[in-house]
Chains A and B, each alone.
Chain A
Amino acid sequence: MFRVTTEPLNVQQVNDLVKRPTDGAVVTFDGVVRNNFDGRPVRYLAYEAYAAMAEKKLAEIGAEVQQKFAVGEIAMMHRIGRLDIGESSIVIAVAAPHRHAAFEACAYAMDRVKAEVPVWKKEFFADGADHWVNQN
């Protein structure tokens, strides 16, 4: 499943989506909002997406990961809208017969997301300032 949603993410649910009896490993990455940017206190984040294309790109990355690694099912969910400190912004779950492929595939999928999926993050700082990441 590859989805962009405004709803809170349920890590266990995404993890369980990819389980198959033939797979002995599930690696799930839970990306959470941190309370600072290079030490500057962050109050909350806002994510914006070109949602239709973002879901298409997530699915393409999923297919690419399955081509490249010996893995089974993969699921990626990205949350958008306002997110507070500690909330999950992205969850990626990869199942595989053995753990090494699952670890590598999950890290690779996350790197691809950061490069190719049209989602943008805006940071709102404790001092009242805000900025779009990578855009100034």
Chain B
Amino acid sequence: MQITVKLFALMREKAGTDTVPLEVPAGAAVTQALATLVCQYPMLEPYMANTRFSVRMDFVDPNTILAEGDELVLIPPVSGGA
């Protein structure tokens, strides 16, 4: 199935794109999608340990099962405010 990975901030710059279409097996979890992503974009690997994940605008567990068309958003440590 097809999903989309969205990247922000430093990871967006390292990958050179903010959107990565990804083909993953049906019923794949976030962790499987990340493994596929890192194969294609190995420069992202060092940041994964500190990254949180979001699907449908909520933080999700890495074991969350993805659905066709999902947008998996990588959320590096946030630094908003002042």
Residues of A that sit less than 8 Å from B by CB: 31-34, 47-50, 52-54, 56, 78, 89-90, 110, 113-122, 132-136
Contact = CB atoms under 8 A, between A and B. Distances in A.
Given A114-B80, A119-B78, A136 B10 contact: yes
B1 to A, nearest CB: 23
Contacts of B8: 48, 50, 118, 120
Q: Which of B13, B50, B78 has the most CB of A within 10 A?
A: B78
The number of chain B residues touching the other chain, given as a range, is: 10 to 19
Name the residue among B47, B80, B81 with the largest chain A CB count within 10 angstroms.
B80
A122 B80 CA distance: 10
A63 B68 CA distance: 32
A113 B54 contact: no
Contacts of A56: 57
Interface of B: 6, 8-10, 13, 47, 50, 54, 57-58, 73, 75-82
Contacts of B77: 134-135
A108 B13 CA distance: 32
Contact of A50 (B6, B13, B79, B81): B6
Nearest to A123: B79
